Structures are given as C-alpha cells and as structure tokens.
Structure 1
C-alpha cells in the first residue's frame, strides 16, 4: 500500500515528536530504534523509510525539543512587558513543574552531557540550536550593548541549565527547592527571585 507524501510527512513528524520526549526521559542511549518506533505506533522495519540512520533521528529529535523551548520563550516575550520578560522566562524554567517533567522540558539539562560525547555532526547541530536559544535570551536584555547582552545570556542559560540538573539530582524535597531558589537568585538577583517564588509556577 502506498501512502501520500502528506501521510509520510505526518508520520515522520510523529516519530520525531515521540522520540524527542523519550530521549529526554531516557537519555540518548537509553532507548533503541525499535522502542522509538513502537512508541510511534510503527514497526522497526519502517524506520529507514524515514531516516538514514539513528543519528539522523536523534539530531531531528534534539532540534525539535530545543525549538519548542525557544518558541515558548518567544511567546513569553510577545505577551510580557519588556522589563519582565527575562524574569518570566527564568521563573518558567526554574520551577518544580519543569524539574519534574524532563520529557517535555529543555533538552540541554537532560542530554547535554551525552551530546558532548556524540559525533561532530550531532554536536554541531546541537550547538546551532543552543546558539539560537542564546540569541533569544539576549533579545530580552536590551539595556546593554548586544555583545554584553549575549555574554549575559550565555551566563544566564548556563546557570539555569546547571541549576535544573542539580535540582533533579536533589529530588523533589526542600533541598531541591533550595537549589531552584539559588539558581533564580543567581540569574535575577535576590529581590527579583524572591518575587518569583510567590507566583504560581508554569511549565517550561
């Protein structure tokens, strides 16, 4: 039975979306192609009709996950006053909802250490998406020259992502909450971080 191009595109997108969730949950090497295809409701044999290799799927899944984070930040920027955009992004990132849902969260804390050991092609693809995230964050820092904003964005993202890793290691108790709070304070400053605690957390 032959399927239309639209059907193949829809199936391809479904595989990538499912894989992006499972890879963030299980790690880049924690789930095989057969399992990924089963998650998408397909057989292992159909894999190569959509991807040249497992690496190709991994790259697309990583890109999909990182694009979702960047898009969420863009929507925040569009609906939030300029002076509150950075704080709102940090609040949605460093909260228990995001900590407890790695499968639908930022790919970097979940997969960054593994990506550093992947092939040059995979690392380049990941780095390109990371740079887009940095640029998006830098866009929210408008009171300084662009070069300075970019450096601040890099520092902020490094702090946020590292904080989330530590918070997940710490679990879901007071220690983990302390880690999240320290990360918010490091990025935003003590006063702004204290205000963010009182707000209802939203998913990243």
Structure 2
C-alpha cells in the first residue's frame, strides 16, 4: 500500500487538529474519543498515532490551536479600534458576551470552553501548559484596553476583565435555558463597558 504524500499527511494532521479543537471545546477533553475525533476529521481511527503520540499530545495541540484562533479574532478586533482603548474594550466585550457565543463553544473562546476540563488535569500535563500560555497572550491583549500608563495596573485590570468575561460566559452556558443566563451576560457586559479603569 502506498504511503500518503507529505502534503496529504499535513492535510490530515490539519483536519485532526481542526476537528479536535472544535470538539474538545464543544464536549470537553474527556467527552470525545479518538475514534470520534478521527471520524469527524474524515479519517480512520488507525491513522491517529501516525500524527500524535497520545490523546494527551493532541489535547495540548488542540488547546494551543483553540487559543490561537481566539487570539487572532481578538487581535483583529483590537486593530479595528485604532488605539482607542474604550473602543478596543467594546470590540472585545460586545461579541463575547452574547447568546450566540454562549451557544457555540466549539468555535468560541478557548479560555471559557476548556477551563473546567484543564483545571482537572494534573499540573504536569502539556494541555495545562498550552492553556496557561494561551491565556497569558489573551491577558496581554486585554491589557491593551486598560486606560493606564502603569503596567501593573493594566495587568491587574486585564486579569479582572478576563475573569469577568470567562466567568460570565461559563456561568451563562451552565444556566442556558434559564433567564439567569441572559442576565449574566447582560450584567457583566454593562459592568465592563461602563467601567472607566
């Protein structure tokens, strides 16, 4: 049997990463099997280990990819504000705290979608490191929205804003179907966009 070309191998790996990034955000790290990931990528289960040493290795790569996708969206939104910090914050918060984002974790924020699962993983797992690295980049991006020249103030406020965003989205997803879900999104949106920090 002929081996796949390097180009085909790269396409297959891309398909696996794309499927796993989405499915892990939708269903959790332990909510989807390797066979399901491979089927979603249009590949057979047997080909998995030609691309990744383990599901843990894939989880780390999928987490990294999910953060890269989220960060790319954020950075496009920040750039549209032309340096106006209030507009930067608005550009991040308004699309984030919506019912649509709440209903679509597979294509949404990696920080919110993966937080609970990653928190349950042992500290030495590569997925934890990928999560921390991705979150640090987003905190740095959020710091750009803070109206202060003091780097520590900007960093601290960015942490608060990230906690509010991720916490609100996580709780809104957990209460989906109850009015509390929309109230959570609305209250945090108002608090963040009304702040002057």
Normalised by the length of structure 2, the TM-score is: 0.91
**Residue 69 of structure 1: aligned partner:** 70
**Residue 198 of structure 1: aligned partner:** none
| Structure 1: runs of 5 or more not aligned | 192-204
**Residue 98 of structure 1: aligned partner:** 101
1 CA distance for matches of 2:142 and 2:148?
Answer: 13
**Residue 6 of structure 2: aligned partner:** 5
Confirm or deny: 8 A CA contact 1:159 1:186 kept in the other structure.
no
2:75 matched to 1:78?
A: no
**Residue 43 of structure 2: aligned partner:** 42
Indicate which of 157, 174, 182 corresponds to 1:177.
182
SS in 1 for 2:121: coil
Normalised by the length of structure 1, the TM-score is: 0.88
Deviation for aligned residue 1:117: 1.8
2:144 matched to 1:146?
A: no
1 CA distance for matches of 2:80 and 2:8?
Answer: 35
Deviation string 1:113-170 (CA, Å, 9 cap, x unpaired) is 1101213232122101110111111123253312211111111011101001111122
2:122 matched to 1:123?
A: no
2 CA distance for matches of 1:100 and 1:190?
Answer: 26
2 CA distance for matches of 1:69 and 1:172?
Answer: 25
SS in 1 for 2:149: coil
SS in 2 for 1:140: coil
| Structure 2: runs of 5 or more not aligned | none
Deviation string 1:20-47 (CA, Å, 9 cap, x unpaired) is 1111111110111011111111111100
**Residue 155 of structure 1: aligned partner:** 160
